Every structure is written in structure tokens, then in C-alpha cells.
Amino acid sequence: MLSKQEILSVFKETGALLNGHFLLSSGLHSPQYFQCAKVLQYPWHAERLCGEIANYFSDSKVDVVVAPAIGGIVVAQEVGRPLRRRAIFAEREGGKMTLRRGFEIRKGERALVVEDVTTTGGSALEVMNAVREMGGDVVGFGCLVDRSGGKAKFDIPTFSLIKMDVRNYSPEDCPLCQQGIELVKPGSRKISES
Ligand code: ZN
């Protein structure tokens, strides 16, 4: 098992977790910004982190690992690898989470749903519904980072590698604005990755 400290240090080292003063797409300000793709771009980190999810569900008799695209694809791949099981993904078609590309769930197959970051759990739930509609059984849910603050709850065994609290402020009562710290928009070049 990786410790919370080890996980956080990999996130920081790879620039996935940034500290500062960020403008989020929601318009809120935050002292932290997390971009999971930054850590998953290193296959050896992806293998190690996702391996923890695989390990947790090693006795769950998983037949297939399913993820919502795009963020979940790498996670499904790296969870399916040690389990020696298929890794597939669902994507939106006309607004509905759908298995395309000839991906199939056979009736009674045991599916493990995974994703990178859980914010509301909405996409994961849609994938679970798609699996069930095809006759599959959802036997578990795993994610690398749960930032739902306990809001994403499923009635199946659930595992997250780490839980991260998100502090968001409206611009009017942002303490970082009050301290005069420069506001940066993630993805711009101004972010220092320390
Ligand atoms: Zn601010």
C-alpha cells in the first residue's frame, strides 16, 4: 500500500498537484489545482497507482474493467493489466454514455468501473447504468482521487486511492485575493510547478 504522503509527493513531483491561487473553470478561486493527466503521462506512475485499485479488487472476480472516457481510459488499462482482464471505455454519444467501437459486456459479466478523479460521481454512475443495461453486474468502483467530499456514494464496494478536500472561494471572499497573490488560470504558462 502506498501511503498518502507517497501519493501526494508523486502528484507534486509530476506537476499534477499545484499550490497557488487558481481560477477554476467554475469561476471560483482555489489554493490548489489538480490535473490527473500530468501524473498518468508517466506509465510507471500510472502502473503503480492504478495497481492499488487492481489489488483492492483482486478477489472480486472481475471480468472486465470499464471507465468513462477520456480521463478513465489510462486507469482502466492499468487496472486491467495486473488483473489480466479486458479494459474498455464508454464515451458520450448524443449526450448518453455508451460503449462504442465494438466493446461489449456479456450478460452476467462482472464489471469493475474505474476513473481518475471523482468530483460528483455522475460519469461513473452513467457508466454503471450502461453496463447494467447490457446485462452486466457492477461489482465495484475504484478511482485514484475522490474529491467529492463524501458526496459520491455508490451501493457497491468502493475504493479511492486518496481523498482530497477542495477549498473553493468566490472571488469576493477569496483570502488569496485579499493577500494580493497573483491569480493564475491553469493551463497558462504562468504557473510555477513547485
Ligand atoms: Zn482569489
> What's the pLDDT tens digit per position in 75-104?
999 999 999 999 999 999 999 999 999 999
CA of residue 32 to ligand 1 center, whole Å: 11
The pLDDT assigned to 66 comes to 98
State the Cα–Cα distance between residues 64 and 55, nearest whole angstrom.
15
Query: How remote is the CA of residue 145 from the centroid of ligand 1, in Å?
Result: 24
Q: Could you give all domains of the chain from N- to C-terminal order, each with its CATH number?
A: 4-178 (3.40.50.2020)
193 confidence band (pLDDT: 50, 70, 90)? very low
Model pTM score: 0.89
What is the rounded distance in angstroms from the CA atom of residue 45 to the CA atom of residue 58?
Answer: 20
Q: How far is the CA of 28 from the centre of ligand 1 (A)?
A: 8
Q: Which residues contact 178 (CB under 8 A, 6 or more apart)?
A: none
Q: Which residue has the higher pLDDT, 165 or 83?
A: 83
Rounded to the nearest whole angstrom, what is the distance from the C-alpha of residue 187 to the centroid of ligand 1?
17
Question: What are the residue ranges of helices labelled H in the chain?
Answer: 4-13, 37-40, 43-56, 73-83, 122-133, 175-178
Distance from residue 181's CA to the centre of ligand 1 (Å): 8
Measuring CA to CA, how many Å separate 25 from each of 13, 29, 187? 24, 9, 11
Distance separating alpha carbons of residues 85 and 29, to the nearest angstrom: 41
Residue 168 alpha carbon to ligand 1 centre in Å: 9
* Orientation of helix 43-56 relative to helix 73-83, angle to 10°: 60
Distance in Å, CA 116 to ligand 1 centroid: 27
pLDDT(38) > 60: yes
Ligand 1 center to 14 CA (angstroms): 24
Q: What pLDDT is attached to residue 190? A: 53
pLDDT of residue 24: 86
Q: Where are the alpha helices (DSSP H) in 30-145?
A: 37-40, 43-56, 73-83, 122-133
CA angle 8, 23, 125 (to 5 degrees): 65
Residue that is written with C-alpha cell 486491467 in the block: 80
In sequence order, what E strands does 35-191 have?
64-68, 86-93, 96-99, 110-118, 137-146, 158-163
| 33 C-alpha to ligand 1 centroid (Å) | 13
Q: How far is CA 130 from CA 91, 95, 167, 193, in A?
A: 10, 13, 32, 38
What is the 30 CA–ligand 1 centroid distance (Å)? 7
Q: Which amino acid is at 127?
A: V
